[in-house]
Amino acid sequence: MKYQFLKVAAASPALRVADPAYNAKEIIGIIEAQAKKGTELLVFPELCLSGYTCGDLFLQETLLTGCLTALKEVVARTKGHTMLVFVGLPVSCHGKLYNCAAGISGGKILGLVPKSYLPNYNEFYEARYFSPAPEGVSRISLGGGEEGDAVFSAELVFRDEDHPEIAVGCEICEDLWAPESPSVKLAKSGAAVIVNLSASNETVGKREYRHKLLAAQSGKNLCAYVYADAGTGESTSDMVFAGNNMIYENGTCLAESLPFSGEICEAEVDVGFLASERRKLTTFRTDPEHGDRLDASFVTEGDLTLRKVDPLPFVPHDRSILSERAALILDLQAHALARRISQIQAKTAVIGVSGGLDSTLALLVACRAFDLLKKDRRSILAYTMPGFGTSKKTKRSADDLMEVLGVSASAVPISETVLSHFGDIGHDPAVHDATYENAQARYRTMILMDVANKTGGLVIGTGDLSELALGWCTYNGDHMSMYAVNSSVPKTLVKYLVRAEANRLGGRVRAVLEEVLGTEISPELLPPDERGNISQKTEDLIGPYELTDFYLWHFLRRGDGPAKTLYLAERAFAGRYDRATLKKWLVSFYRRFFSQQFKRNCVPDGVKVGSVSLSPRADLRMPSDASAALWLEEAKNL
């Protein structure tokens, strides 16, 4: 699919034990249906042509011959379809019997993958019939001349001939449970997607265990994992199979067919993201000498139809998870601040409170930190510093917040002092330019720093991740502090954290926090309008924060380029922003991100709470004079 997405599916066909012709018919029906849906990789369960529960019938030549005949029928029906298909069957080779997965595409058998680890415990007695995969690579004859020959190895990697980065490795059921799974070597040899043809019977708790295994395997191997489980058509003499199919991507479950649902599990996996992660993590070491590569054509140029693109990637979807995540983030911030206060033996914490979201969150974190240290909240010195643009609403919110949280509140109006400063430097106060705005921000920071010196305190930074990404801060103004608690919290997440604290604390605190949450985002550096309302609206100037955070996530966390990012944004924000608007703010994002790196290269210490951080000491090593030309050229030409 477009932009290195791959449409995959895992299916558990209705089958009859020891009836290959019937099973082939069911498999072909699914292949035909999935081809119409644009599926590029389709996986069926272990021994699906024969049925997993054949027992001693596996030793019968009649069954083995019937499975080969059925395989050839399935292979023939893949001709004309752009798809890579895996089906399971028993195969006799060199005097031994193997439990195999056949990789087929375009009317050809690309290769046979034998199972490496055979269970021989409880209800599973595979070692009674099958031999484990031999080492190395060979060719075997399946009958029917040259077209019936196939490569035979547990080390095969199936690649798309036009997109070699889209490569697929295969293992079978117990291979996943083994300490040294074949998928580890397959991933190291280039397989970005691992398929597993499985026949895992259903028991209490087993579904949960599968999830843990697949999450760990796909996460540590930085791969997608497509797991196809045997379904209800298997024998129930001693056990039952439920068709619990799953698709994982780097530790995240993208799709699941619930036990006994009979549903086909479908998803679109992001191979481009997996490649980006593998480049980023040097602990993932490739082994290009391992494995035998087979090329086929199975990647199409279809659009995404299944994958939901999250417009708020920094914010958890599930309400219960969101509440738990908010508590964890607030704890991370508070414990980090408490550690810094203890380390330098600060007597006070000094913070500027504007009545906006960021300073509100920082003040809530400071209160938590002081509670952890069992210090009096009155040693939190909170300052409002009303200036030319301060509205009555935000001033009232700041005053109310300081009161209900029980911190020491002070007010230092700055307008007269800033006007005097304008006289000193010869600036006309009627000119509302960067000088007019930044002088206010720098004077406020000077006040806080001097109070900290006077009281033996620590200035708490309030700026968030989104502002750092765009450089939306005044150099040596709000850009500077002694410890930045919000530095890796994006703007779209800030409001959720504040709301979580509102719900936790309740009462009057909640009422005040709701007022803050309802206030428009603004630095309030320009005078209010004639009605006294905020005139300077941040998102009108730098773009909606939901777009900024979306672009930031895909740029730094996913490694996506401009074209892919815009493609995904169109799907995430369909009906809310048109393409022209999305492109406008995408170009703006790249321009601002690159040009403002000089501010990020000298930011104060701050706690990392998520997977994206812009600290020059830990996460983003980027020169201040790096060129944005490549990204801007691609974005502008979209």
Q: Write out pLDDT tens, residues 194-236.
A: 999 999 999 999 999 999 999 999 999 999 999 999 999 999 9
Q: What is the mean pLDDT of residues 116-123?
A: 83
Residues taking part in catalysis: 46, 115, 173
Distance, in Å, from the CA atom of 1 to the CA atom of 211, rounded to the nearest integer, reads 26
CB 86 within 8 A of CB 103: yes
- Tell me if 551 sits within 8 A of 569, measured CB to CB: yes
Helices 20-36 and 61-77: angle between axes, nearest 10 degrees: 20
Only one residue has tokens 């049925």, namely 51
Query: In the numeric block, which tokens belong to residue 496?
Result: 């959720």
Q: Does the pLDDT at position 295 exceed 80?
A: yes
Structure tokens at 398: 């700041």
Two tokens at 333?
Answer: 């911030």
Statement: residue 72 has pLDDT above 90: yes
pLDDT above 60 (res 145): no
Under DSSP, the state recorded for 611 is S
Please state, in angstroms and rounded to a whole number, the distance separating the CA atoms of residues 547 and 582.
Answer: 8
Question: What does the pLDDT read at residue 1?
Answer: 84
Given this model, what pLDDT does residue 532 score?
Answer: 67
pLDDT tens for 439-488 read 999 999 999 999 999 999 999 999 999 999 999 999 999 999 999 999 99
- Token pair belonging to 410: 């002070």
φ, ψ dihedrals at 381, nearest 5°: -95, 100
Tokens of 516: 């803050």
Cβ neighbours for 308, distance < 8 A, ≥ 6 positions apart = none
SS3 of 257-289: CCCCCCCCEEEEEEHHHHHHHHHHCCCCCCCCC
Average pLDDT (51-71) is: 96
For CA atoms 537, 538, 542, 543, the dihedral sign is negative
**CA distance linking residue 564 with residue 583, whole number of Å:** 12
Q: How many residues make up the chain in this entry?
A: 638
N-to-C CA span, the chain: 19
What is the model's pLDDT at position 604?
Answer: 96
In this prediction, residue 147 carries a pLDDT of 52
Mean pLDDT computed over 140-147: 66
- Residue 108: CB partners within 8 Å, gap ≥ 6? 75, 147, 296
Q: Is the pLDDT of residue 304 over 80?
A: yes
Determine whether 7 is exposed, middle or buried from the number of CB atoms within 10 Å of its CB (0-12, 13-18, 19+). Answer: buried
Decide the pairing of beta strands 348-352 and 408-411: unpaired
pLDDT-wise least confident of 164-173, 311-320, 571-580, 617-626: 311-320
Is the predicted pLDDT of residue 255 greater than 80, yes or no?
yes
Q: How is the beta sheet containing 408-411 ordered, strand by strand?
A: 408-411, 380-384, 348-352, 457-461, 483-484
Distance between CA 338 and CA 341 in Å, rounded?
Answer: 5
**C-alpha to C-alpha distance for 396 and 386, rounded to whole angstroms:** 11
User: Does residue 150 contact residue 140 with C-beta atoms inside 8 Å?
Assistant: yes
Backbone angles phi, psi at 292, to 5 degrees: -115, 125
pLDDT score recorded for residue 137: 87
Q: Which distant-in-sequence residues (6+ apart) come within 8 Å of 23 by Cβ?
A: 13, 15, 16, 48, 49, 50, 51, 70
pLDDT of residue 146 exceeding 60, the answer is no
Alpha helices (H) along 456-479? 465-470
Contacts of 47 (CB under 8 A, 6+ apart): 54, 88, 89, 90, 99, 197, 199, 230
Q: ∠ CA 352-355-356 to the nearest 5 degrees?
A: 95
Q: What is the spatial distance between Cα 481 and Cα 609, in angstroms, rounded to a whole number?
A: 18
* Domains of the chain with CATH codes: 2-296 (3.60.110.10), 319-636 (3.40.50.620)
The 8-class DSSP code of residue 149 comes to: E
Q: Cβ of 309: how many Cβ atoms within 10 Å?
A: 16
Q: Specify the pLDDT at position 123.
A: 65
The pLDDT confidence band at residue 15, using thresholds 50, 70 and 90, is very high
User: Using 50, 70 and 90 to split pLDDT, how confident is the model at 283?
Assistant: confident
What integer pLDDT is reported at residue 494 of this predicted model? 96
Higher pLDDT, 165 or 529: 165
Nearest to 299 by CA among 464, 479, 167: 167
Average per-residue pLDDT for the chain: 94
Q: Specify the pTM.
A: 0.93
Exposed/middle/buried for residue 372 (C-beta within 10 Å: 0-12, 13-18, 19+): middle
Count CB-CB contacts under 10 A for residue 32.
Answer: 12
Q: Is residue 523 over pLDDT 80?
A: no
Torsion over CA of 305, 308, 311 and 314, rounded to 10 degrees? -150
Instruction: Give Cβ neighbours of residue 176 (< 8 Å, ≥ 6 apart).
Output: 183, 196, 198, 213, 214, 217, 227
Name residues whose C-beta falls within 8 Å of residue 92's C-beta, 6 or more positions apart in sequence. 64, 98
Strands 292-296 and 156-160: parallel
Return the H-helix or E-strand segment holding 578.
none
Q: 385-418, pLDDT tens digit by residue?
A: 999 999 899 999 999 999 999 999 999 999 999 9
Q: Residue 102 is encoded by which pair of tokens? A: 């056949």
Write down the pLDDT at residue 148.
61
pLDDT at residue 521 in the model: 85
Lowest mean pLDDT among 39-53, 137-151, 296-310, 624-638: 137-151
* Among the ranges given (80-94, 132-146, 434-448), the one the predictor scored with the smallest mean pLDDT: 132-146
| 306-to-6, 214, 300 alpha-carbon distances in Å | 11, 21, 15
Tell me what pLDDT residue 144 has: 58
Task: Provide the phi-psi class of 184: left if phi over 0, else alpha when psi is between -120 and 50, else beta.
Answer: alpha
